[in-house]
Amino acid sequence: MSASTNLFLGLRRVTSTVAKGFFDITHNSIALIGLVVLFVSIALFARPELRALGETQLFSWLQERRVDLTGLVSDPVASDRATAAHPKDLPKQQATVALWLSKKYRVAPEPVSAIVAEAYDIGKRVSLDPTLILAVMAIESGFNPFAQSHVGAQGLMQVMTRVHSDKYQSYGGEFAAFDPLANLRVGVKVLQDCIRAAGSIEGGLKYYVGAANLEYDGGYTAKVMNEYVRLKQVALGKPVPAWVPPPTAPLKASTPAAPPSVPESPDEASATSATVALK
């Protein structure tokens, strides 16, 4: 056998050995990976806390990658904290009220829907008409959860936080005044106490606005009651315009302005200036 033939056979033997070794290593590696995946899966299903930890770490890594790629920092639970609901998920009457309030007060229907649903729920529990609660809210803040009056009334129901701070303790403290649902619940409690003390809705509204000992409440009670009546009609499915233009005053015939008087002498001019200064 020639030397070239021996060399060829030797190379073939070496190549075959390397190929077999590579196959064995690859096959064993795949098998090893499969076993690892199997054992990890069993461990995760057997230990829920490990599975939760793994999901958290994986999600955290994905969030970091998203921030690196987009430059946007996102909060995965922000939507859970939002006070919002779709009107179509509400009962028909509540959805009708929510859409009417959304149109009239120019606020998004989703947060208003959540507020309406809460008003109906709490109103049923405390035996208050939910449309009365919503009427108070409408006049007090126009559905602005961050509203604040010049005397310190805050939130949707314009509750005096410093006066009723104890009522916010179960919600985490005074800052809960700006949480729509917490403010609504505290406001309803205050309104309920006012109506009970006064013996009537109208009297309770005077108490609520701080005019219990005054003859006139600035028209507050009338405004709330008018909105209350409108909302009750809306809840019954009656057509109520969301916006009514204010009455216009009749035009008066314009009269030409009188020409300014010109003093005839310096003495008269001095006398006129003195009169204006006294006013």
Measured between alpha carbons, how far is 49 from 159 in angstroms, rounded to an integer? Answer: 44
Q: What is the pLDDT of residue 227?
A: 97
Q: What's the pLDDT tens digit per position in 199-213?
A: 999 999 999 999 988
Lowest mean pLDDT among 65-69, 228-232, 240-244: 65-69
Q: What's the pLDDT tens digit per position in 108-128?
A: 999 999 999 999 999 999 999
Please, are residues 97 and 235 in contact by the beta-carbon 8 Å criterion? yes
Q: What is the pLDDT of residue 24?
A: 55
Average pLDDT over residues 153-159: 95
Question: What residues contact 91, with CB distance under 8 A and at least 6 apart?
Answer: none
Is 9 or 269 the better-scoring residue by pLDDT? 9
Delimiting residues of CATH 1.10.530.10 domain(s) in the chain: 87-235
Measured between alpha carbons, how far is 83 from 176 in angstroms, rounded to an integer? Answer: 13
- The model's confidence at residue 278, banded by pLDDT at 50, 70 and 90, is very low
Q: What's the pLDDT tens digit per position in 173-193?
A: 999 999 999 999 999 999 999
Q: What's the pLDDT tens digit per position in 19-66?
A: 555 455 445 556 556 555 555 566 556 666 656 666 566 556 655 665
Q: Please state the pTM of the whole predicted model.
A: 0.64
Average pLDDT of the chain, as a whole number: 78
The CATH number, out of the four listed (3.40.630.10, 2.60.40.10, 1.10.530.10, 3.40.920.10), of the domain defined by the range 87-235: 1.10.530.10
- The model's confidence at residue 242, banded by pLDDT at 50, 70 and 90, is confident
- H or E, element range at 159: strand 159-160
Size (the chain), residues: 279
